[in-house]
Amino acid sequence: MKNELLRIGPFTLYGYGLMIAIGVLAGWGTAEYRARKLKADAEHVFFLLLWCLLGGFLGAKILFWITEWKEIVSDPAFILWTMSDGFVVYGGILGGIFAGWLYCRVKKICFLEYFDLMIPSVALAQGFGRIGCFLAGCCYGKEAEGWLSVTFHNSDFAPNGVALVPTQIYSSILDFVHFAVLLYIARHKKADGQVAACYMIFYSAGRFCLEFFRGDLIRGSVGSLSTSQFISIFIFAAGILLLTGVSGKKKTIK
């Protein structure tokens, strides 16, 4: 659990950034490979990646600022102080999906087809990203006891010297399993949109459950639910509606 992996002069290699980069590259490579195998236009993969990264970054920042609106009201400079840190995953997912939809509209290509193509890569990238969270100590769990707990000693985010539930590792394992399951579903899907719908259903359900073990209070809340749990309910419902809506349609034939 060490975020600063290497320091050479003014250059510092951070574990969180490295894992994010590995996740993006792994997701990109997987999407490119699957596009060629499915005989889809692989040229769109790179540009979809760029659009979704930009949309995801903006979405993650905006949702973070929304959860911290009280801080912003009391001190607007809070926005400037948190430009380089403070992200909400759900904001990134929603922002990335919207950016991908917008790109497909501009290029006049089937959004659901490319949604299915790209979404397993999102799960893969998330798996690596959560390892980065573990190295940095963010997104940590509640206090715990026993050999399954972890203790941070040099984290800028998690409480140091306290045994915690390793929610980052659990999330990472679920993401990698999710990636494998989505690939299986993609090979047997009957209509465009089914893979994307399953991602929405599985991820929201898993995230809702894991939130009970999170210990960081910065996530915000809506009543007795965390912000992510509240959003998970709607993402789960949207996934069910999408799956139901596309199940009667035929798979795109090229």
* pLDDT by position in tens, the chain (length 254): 677 787 887 888 888 889 999 999 999 999 999 999 999 988 899 999 999 999 999 998 888 888 777 888 888 887 877 776 677 889 999 999 999 999 999 999 999 999 999 999 999 999 999 999 999 898 999 999 888 899 998 888 899 999 999 999 999 999 999 999 999 999 999 999 999 999 999 999 999 999 999 998 666 778 889 989 999 999 999 999 999 999 876 554 44
121, with CB counted inside 10 A (0-12, 13-18, 19+), is: buried
Residues in contact with 63: Cβ distance below 8 Å, sequence separation at least 6, in sequence order: 88, 90, 91, 94, 227
State residue 254's pLDDT score.
47
Please give the model's pTM, rounded to 2 decimal places. Answer: 0.89
pLDDT at 174: 97
Of 249, 136, 137, nearest in space to 197 by CA: 249
Domain extents for the chain? 4-246
The DSSP annotation for the chain comes to: --SEEEEETTEEEEHHHHHHHHHHHHHHHHHHHHHHHTT--THHHHHHHHHHHHHHHHHHHHHHHHHTHHHHHH-TTHHHHTSSS---HHHHHHHHHHHHHHHHHHHT--HHHHHHHHHHHHHHHHHHHHHHHHHHT-S-B-B--STT-EE-SS-SSSPTTSEE--HHHHHHHHHHHHHHHHHHHHHH-SSTTHHHHHHHHHHHHHHHHHGGGB--GGG-EETTEEHHHHHHHHHHHHHHHHHHHHTTSPPP--
pLDDT confidence of residue 8: 81
